[in-house]
Amino acid sequence: MSPVSGSPRLVLAATPLGDVRDASPRLVEALATADVIAAEDTRRTRSLAAALGVSPAGRVVSFFDQNETSRLPMLLEALHGGSTVLLVTDAGMPSVSDPGFRLVAACVAEDLPVTCLPGPSAVTTALALSGLPCDRFCFEGFPPRKQGERRRFFAGLAAEQRTAVFFESPHRLAATLADAADVLGAARRAAVCRELTKTYEEVRRGGLGELAEWAAEGVRGEITVVLSGAEPPAAGADLETLVAEVKQRVADGERLKTAAAEVAEAAGVSKKVLYDAAIASS
């Protein structure tokens, strides 16, 4: 049985990042048959449906960051009333730095069924293209806009050994990469993925320093950045070195307890021992 017919449920559907041919047959069916389509941008969703040769039979309503909370009661009422609600964003998977989480959480709380039509994702596409390790990774959303908060954001990734993926707007990319290079080191490897699946797709790989210089010339399009993880600490790293690392992170704005815990975990030492040593050296 189709996941968008037969019984009411919330359906999360991934939409193409750029190339409409990446739309799945299940997405086409969902657009044609859902009772309600909650769309981040109704115009873009109607354009996508037209490109796919689909005429939505259900209501198409807006569902974006600014009205997500106010739309919840109406969508939940539709679901309780027996409707199937399809949730789509402008590109990629709903809830991944896009509207959707609150609606899913509300459905789970009210025991309403939720299903997903998998498909394109900028996160996994960029990760696969980056040339960086993909076996363990974390997704960090968008870095903070303010420089001080952004530098603390990168300080929090200093000891992260997993590959990290984050989004950034093109007009902030140069400043973000410059801060990352300053905090994490110019040599730390990264990949900037631009306009994924679109005509002018581009992947730039290199150290943070050289990528920051490249971005300073101006970059356009949708941006996903993949950042290599930190190198594992050298075996037998001495406590004095670890304390110095903790103190540097505190100087960069982190809480002592958080910095000590993360450095200790990365080094494989006792959190309490490192925390106490950092306190004693202050």
Between 234 and 171, the more confident residue is 171
Domains in the chain: boundaries: 10-120, 123-227, 239-280
Strand order of the β-sheet with 189-194 is: 137-139, 163-168, 223-227, 189-194, 202-207
In this structure, which long-range contacts are made by residues 135-140, counting pairs with CB atoms below 8 Å and at least 24 apart in sequence?
136/161, 136/162, 136/163, 136/229, 137/162, 137/163, 137/164, 137/165, 138/162, 138/163, 138/164, 138/165, 139/96, 139/164, 139/165, 139/166, 140/164, 140/165, 140/166
pLDDT at 159: 80
The CATH number of domain 123-227, selected from 3.20.20.450, 3.30.70.270, 3.30.565.10, 3.30.950.10: 3.30.950.10
How confident is the model over 64-78, as pLDDT tens digits?
Answer: 999 999 999 999 999
The residues that bridge with 92 in the sheet, in sequence order, are 15
Considering the entire predicted model, what is its pTM? Answer: 0.80
Report percent pLDDT > 90 for the chain.
78
Residues 176, 216 contacting (CB under 8 angstroms): no
Query: How does the average pLDDT of the chain come out, rounded?
Result: 92
The DSSP string of 41-56 is: SHHHHHHHHHHTT---
Q: Is the pLDDT of residue 22 over 70?
A: yes
Specify the pLDDT at position 6. Answer: 55
CA 75 to chain centre: 25
Kindly indicate the confidence band of residue 173, based on its pLDDT and cuts at 50, 70 and 90.
very high
Per-residue pLDDT of 87-121, as tens digits, reads 999 999 999 988 999 999 999 999 999 999 999 99
- Output the CATH code of domain 10-120: 3.40.1010.10
Tell me what pLDDT residue 3 has.
53
Is pLDDT at 35 greater than 70 in this prediction? yes
